[in-house]
Structure 1
Amino acid sequence: MRATKDSGFEWIGDIPCYWKIDKLKYHLRRNEPRNPGDAVVLSLYREFGVIPKNSRDDNHNVTSEDTSKYKYVRPGDFVINKMKAWQGSVAVSEYEGIVSPAYFVYEFTDDTIFKRYFHYLLRNCYKDEFMRLSGGIRVGQWDLPADALENTSILIPPMDEQCRIADFLDTKCAEIDALTADIQTQIDTLEQYKRSVITETVTKGLNPNAEMKDSGIQWIGMMPSHWDCIRGKYILRYMQKPVREDDGVITCFRDGEVTLRSNRREDGFTMSDKEIGYQGIDVGDLVVHGMDGFAGSIGISDSRGKASPVLNVLDTDQCKRYIMYYLRSMAYSDVFLALATGIRVRSCDLRWNKLAELSYPVPPLDEQNAIVEHIDSALSKADAVIADKKAQIATLDEYKKSLIFEYVTGKKEVPCND
């Protein structure tokens, strides 16, 4: 067992006695030359590090940005998002390009730090320290001052040990990431299965031997011959309910949940001071988001509250969950995007006047209820499997974090290869 000493940091604990501790400013120099011109725009993602921005955001139009104040990054430079360092937004770049002015860019000034070891150490072990050193500027973002970062002390093992640690973690993390990716693929397949169950059932019914007819609706095609096609204005009612004094704010989320914001999260929302046009929503109301309905923000409210007029609150004598599932099937098939007039990237205006003119396949009420029961059952079973797989991913993620911490802080030793 190696002899140890107190690191001086409660959150690190003891480290090998021969490891050094030194401040970042003695090994890094801030180097932020302005945009040299025609350069790739880079972004820093917590899970991917520094990579070209377009590789993760297919709808991002780099040419529309004013990049004149962007900072130049070379391969091997250390990049940190000063507002999200506490979330792990720090990385050593493998790419040349430019980054937002919100980032600090540093070059290494000596050879005492192995960059891949440094990468593991900073992004995995210093989140809480960066939070402590940062000052809040708005909800969810904290500003890490350059001098606080530069005066942060780091662990510096001997170079050969840094290399062994980095090589070992590269191998182990790749194995964990492969397992995680495989499980995520299974989750994605199950999510797609859920969508296919909804779309197939609300347009074709439960009887595979039913006589079919042309619905006259392009995105439905053939449907059971005893079903009707009815425009929304004849089966839906647009509701505008008064707001009560004690109403909390309700949001319709893209996963289809319609609930009080306080039941999910408050971070990232902009609160309106005047709440002009806000409306009441009751438990059981059918809600379609006028801006995000295209992405699945369609559901039945589980709460009483108030909401922005951007939410369409609907009632019907049909089965509300059947109508909800039908509208979601349109969202999943990108029908809303194809039909609606776009007003921003990956969005569309889906207000009552458009919902009212849509044609809806309408089975007999008892059949609607049977369809909903079938969908609910299938989705419940799939969700149970998905929850288990997400728990597996969470376990792998925690194992990966603990593995990195144990080796970059010297709690465990990578053996030498003699």
Structure 2
Amino acid sequence: MLGLNESWLAPVPKTWQVRKFYQTFRLKSGVAITSDRISPDDAFPVYGGNGLRGYTDDYTHDGTYLLIGRQGALCGNVHMVSEKIWASEHALVVYPTIKLDQRWLFYVLQTMDLGQYSMATAQPGLSVDNLSTLRLPVPPTELQTKIAQYLDLRCGEIDDLIAKKRSLLALLAEKRSALITRAVTKGLDPTARTKPSGIDSLGDIPAQWEARRLRFVGRAQNGINIGGEFFGKGYPFVSYSDVFKNFELPQEVTGLVESSDADRNRYTVRSGDIFFTRTSETIEEIGMSSVCLKAIPNATFAGFLIRVRPYPNILLPEFSKFYFRNTSLRAFLVKEMNLVTRASLSQTLLGNIPVLIPPREDQEKIAAFINENLAALNDVASNIENAIERLTEYRAAIITKAVTGELEVT
């Protein structure tokens, strides 16, 4: 990947230029679209901060364009489209101001890992102003085309290998999800007596278990609302990404915020707290949970999150981290979510989530069972992920050498 210090730019061949983004192309946000206009059945793809969101009945752009994700967990991703599409306000559209081969530019931007320039705020996001001063090496147009053709061939071979490995990861993820969902909703004894849960979406549950709505299990609290200038220094801060990417919160979060004493008293992060992602442009990012297994002193949490602090002696944190990620709960949220311009999870809807509460001994056994059975699956997944990482690094190295002139393409 290309470094923040841009040392990769020196030296470049004498016939090449080094240009800043704003000297090479304009970046402009797309057009807002409400989620009720997006469906899987319409004709025109909708691209947002994390790539393809779905389809709609109209388009904003017709032609070949590069799109950069502006906001969301995967901001900085780069897509090249050559069709009629709707670019949403969460995507940046690239408009070249000089003659460029767009395929070549796609490889350059993809390799620059633009996500590393996201602002240190409550939710990852890219600023046009911050990106505009980045620099890139620009060879003559004819050479741009040759580099793009070379990389199409080389990267295509690598991408095929990566795609096959990602398919294996997807199968493992399905297996993990099925294991977790079965254990946390039906228990470990298939012969156990059952009873009606009283909640239609749950059906029958083990006779010794309770079923409650989340509002009767704990107290909800939205996160801190503070200006972007306060981020990047100060006290620990649990970000949107910390929750979205992890079943359990990292022991050491990387985010920092200049929070006040009152903030740190109100938005605490304690063992057993359950955090949910509250808002995004897509429903897939909403209601993702992460559980704190060990308190983080002096920490606060993002306004894009909701913290639920369970009442004492109800939920074992090790059980919670699996229960609130089970697929039946995700299905419940997808069904109940009311989508507008941005998907948003209210405390009212969150409080209506059905929660199964086994006896504490059962919670301990279920957590131990899942951890034990996931270990082997996780080992296999880790090996595949390592292989993908090596292939990705090899791919990036090839692109970097080609687009900086280190590798001569003829």
For the aligned pair, the TM-score class normalised by the smaller chain equals 0.5 to 0.7
Unaligned 5+ residue runs, structure 2? 1-5, 31-44, 222-233, 280-284
User: How far apart in 1 are the matches of 2:144 and 2:295?
Assistant: 54
Contact 2:277–2:287, Cα closer than 8 Å, also in 1: no
1:313 to 309, 313, 327: 309
User: How far apart in 1 are the matches of 2:360 and 2:377?
Assistant: 26
Cα deviation digits, residues 10-31 of structure 1 (max 9, x gap): 6356777xx7335779xx9879
User: How far apart in 2 are the matches of 1:190 and 1:171?
Assistant: 30
Contact 2:51–2:69, Cα closer than 8 Å, also in 1: no
Question: In the TM superposition, what are the counterparts of 1:43-82 in structure 2 within 5 Å?
Answer: 53=47, 56-58=51-53, 74-75=63-64
User: How far apart in 1 are the matches of 2:69 and 2:290?
Assistant: 35
Unaligned 5+ residue runs, structure 1? 1-8, 36-50, 241-245
How far did residue 204 of structure 1 move?
1.7
Question: In the TM superposition, what are the counterparts of 1:18-417 in structure 2 within 5 Å?
Answer: 20-22=15-17, 53=47, 56-58=51-53, 74-75=63-64, 94-95=82-83, 103=93, 105-106=95-96, 109=99, 116-117=103-104, 119-120=106-107, 122-123=108-109, 141=127, 143=129, 154-156=138-140, 159=142, 164-224=146-206, 226-231=207-212, 236=217, 238=219, 248-250=236-238, 253-254=243-244, 255-259=246-250, 263-266=252-255, 275=263, 278-282=266-270, 284-289=271-276, 291=278, 295-305=287-297, 306-307=299-300, 310-320=306-316, 321-329=318-326, 332-339=329-336, 345-350=342-347, 354=351, 360-413=355-408
User: How far apart in 2 are the matches of 1:295 and 1:288?
Assistant: 9
How far did residue 238 of structure 1 move?
4.4
TM-score by length of 2: 0.63
Contact 1:24–1:153, Cα closer than 8 Å, also in 2: yes
How far did residue 287 of structure 1 move?
2.0
User: How far apart in 2 are the matches of 1:98 and 1:316?
Assistant: 48
How far did residue 201 of structure 1 move?
0.9
How far did residue 62 of structure 1 move?
9.2
How far did residue 375 of structure 1 move?
1.1
How far did residue 94 of structure 1 move?
3.4
Cα deviation digits, residues 344-392 of structure 1 (max 9, x gap): 744322459936xx66444443333211110122233333333332222
User: How far apart in 2 are the matches of 1:126 and 1:344?
Assistant: 30
Let me know the Cα RMSD of the aligned residues: 5.2
User: How far apart in 2 are the matches of 1:164 and 1:227?
Assistant: 68
Change over 3 Å in CA distance of 1:231–1:82 after alignment to 2? closer
Change over 3 Å in CA distance of 1:233–1:186 after alignment to 2? closer
Name the SS for the 1:53 alignment partner: strand
User: How far apart in 1 are the matches of 2:365 and 2:68?
Assistant: 54
More contact order relative to length (CA 8 Å, sep ≥ 6): 2
Contact 2:272–2:292, Cα closer than 8 Å, also in 1: yes
Change over 3 Å in CA distance of 1:223–1:319 after alignment to 2? same
Q: Whose Rg is larger?
A: 1
User: How far apart in 1 are the matches of 2:387 and 2:371?
Assistant: 24
Contact 1:190–1:382, Cα closer than 8 Å, also in 2: yes
How far did residue 315 of structure 1 move?
3.4
Contact 2:104–2:145, Cα closer than 8 Å, also in 1: yes
Change over 3 Å in CA distance of 1:198–1:30 after alignment to 2? closer
User: How far apart in 2 are the matches of 1:385 and 1:102?
Assistant: 37
